[in-house]
Amino acid sequence: MLVLVTGGAGFIGSHIATALAKDGHGVRVLDALLPAAHTVPPDIAPDVDFVRADVRDPAAVEEALRGVDAVCHQAAMVGLGKDFGDAPDYVSCNDLGTAVLLAAMARGTVRRLVLAGSMVVYGEGRYDCARHGTVRPGPRHVADLDAGRFEPRCPHCGEPLDPGYVDEDAPVDPRNVYATTKLAQEHLAAAWARATDGTAVSLRYHNVYGPGMPRDTPYAGVAALFRSALARGESPRVFEDGGQRRDFVHVRDVAAANVAALGSVAAPGVLRAYNVGSGTPHTVGEMATALAARHGGPAPVVTGEYRLGDVRHITASSRRIRDELGWSATIGFAEGMAEFASAPLRGAS
């Protein structure tokens, strides 16, 4: 089938386009090549039908959808951002862009959507208290973070908590602007599916890393920030105490999840969400140490700094996508970090 990949010239989107082509699909890419994500022109494969346009442009989107059988919607403004002043840009790029795309799909005949979701919709992950069972800690407080008290406590007794795995049925609790827009994208996709009897899948990506990550941008993920620092000969700066738990999943595994989702037999008229992670959590400090060691240094520096919109621990179960779509990650942490330590970054000279 012919698949439209919005944001298909970006980090994850370009890997998805490659994976789709290898799987025998036709690929059309729509990308605005915004400077925040593309400091240098990307390499577009000659067999890819490339449309330079913004997903917020209704006429361009409608034209890009001609003859298309399915859409992988990756176009988005990513990362935590610099401050709340970024909110209008996030809402415009992520939510208005999704609404324009879905409206054009509703007017046409495309009825299959794979959405780039995110684990950030959960907020903090799952926690268990020895006395009170599964609990959800409240928002983090500046006074605690300033004092170096990074671990959430039980909201009932104040005792330490044991972090666990979140499944797709857990309550959502977005705790920053980016997370809020990613949840809104899912709600829009669910509304589109109901209105059109379309098939919608949201892949809730964990911390994606790998070759082609953008270099030296404040909107990049932590893996790109660490790798950029190493490329400059600087130590990766690890926030808090480095003990934040995350699930680092390789971009080629994420691309494979998109291919699997396109073949999903999910029921029409509803949105089906899947966590996409490696299944093996590591701390941010462990990731920085592994990356620096394989790059040849310098060693990371733990700063104690923090970003209020960050969460402490978020790792999720990917059992549903394994059971229903037959997908599981194939690139382990050590192997992936060894490759990433010397892999080219987007925008690097």
**Which residues belong to the active site?**
178
Cβ 254 vs Cβ 316: under 8 Å: no
Task: With CA atoms as reference, report the closest residue to 253 among 5, 12, 4, 54.
Answer: 12
Cβ 316 vs Cβ 125: under 8 Å: yes
Task: With CA atoms as reference, report the closest residue to 307 among 227, 219, 182.
Answer: 219
Within 197-336, strands assigned E span 199-205, 207-209, 237-238, 245-246, 248-250, 271-276, 282-283, 301-302, 315-316
The stretches of 170-314 forming alpha helices (DSSP H) are: 177-196, 222-231, 251-262, 284-295
Task: With CA atoms as reference, report the closest residue to 126 among 265, 334, 313, 310.
Answer: 313
Quote the CA–CA distance of 249 and 209 in Å, as a whole number: 6
Quote the CA–CA distance of 238 and 299 in Å, as a whole number: 11
